[in-house]
Amino acid sequence: MTTSSLALLLSFLLCSSLLSFASYKAEARRFISVSSLISKDLFDSMFLHKDDSACPAKNFYTYNSFIHASKRFPKFGTTGCLATRKREIAAFLAQISHETTGGWETAPDGPYAWGLCFKEEVSPASNYCDSSNTQWPCYPGKSYHGRGPIQLSWNFNYGPVGNALRFDGLRNPEIVSNNSLVAFKTALWFWMTEQKPKPSCHNVMVGKYTPTEADAKANRTAGFGLVTNIINGGLECGIPDDSRVHDRIGYFQRYASLFNVSTGPNLDCENQKPFS
């Protein structure tokens, strides 16, 4: 185990040790809803410009849809102690903010106040159909470009997420950019679901990630940077000073501050090898 991974693990252990045994058991029995940790006012303060007329997703990403979608994944934002739960929510919102950002360096209120501005990829370079994937075959005439908060892409993601959430992701991928609740559910599905050799983003952020031998050799240490690696490591990780990685970190730092929690170590992935 690396020093940085040990530090993250110790932070989770310390988080738990702050509770007495009796109170810890009571905490474990009590379901803590996401809405008890992030109010509508806090949500609106994070996404100051998501409903501006300049944003194509105006009035699409609602607080109610986010909260309702989170109930489909009861371990999201409810695992671990209070700081861990808040940190996971902040990390998730930071990642989807980068994926959908409409901000720029000199934007009003800063570049990190413009998350959830887009609900669909602009001018996709292709239809994102992997024809070699026979398990989730592309449907004629359909495009599997980025849609929703996580910018879900490729038929091999649309197929299984539709299967998990009970909609036809291959024949009706457009629902991800037409239905706010479905959109948030797809993002949370991606966050919560392990796709080997990748761990789930959730397990990384709540301290349940155990590096394999291959992970250790690739320096894939626990932290926000590993979540970036899971989401888009093939394009962004292993690259010194990547602006996209910095944008994700900037959102995370802002949201963690609003939640009054630390970000934890290993924010970037410049020294990590992407997953194969």
Mind telling me the catalytic residues? Answer: 99
Whose tokens are 């669909």? That residue is: 120
**Cα–Cα distance list, 107 to 25, 111, 142, 242, 270 (Å):** 46, 5, 35, 20, 26
Residues 6+ apart with CB under 8 A from 23: none
Structure tokens at 34: 């996401």
| Closest C-alpha among 119, 114, 124 to residue 57 | 119
Q: How many CB atoms lie within 10 A of CB 259?
A: 20
User: 140: cis peptide before it, omega within 30°?
Assistant: no
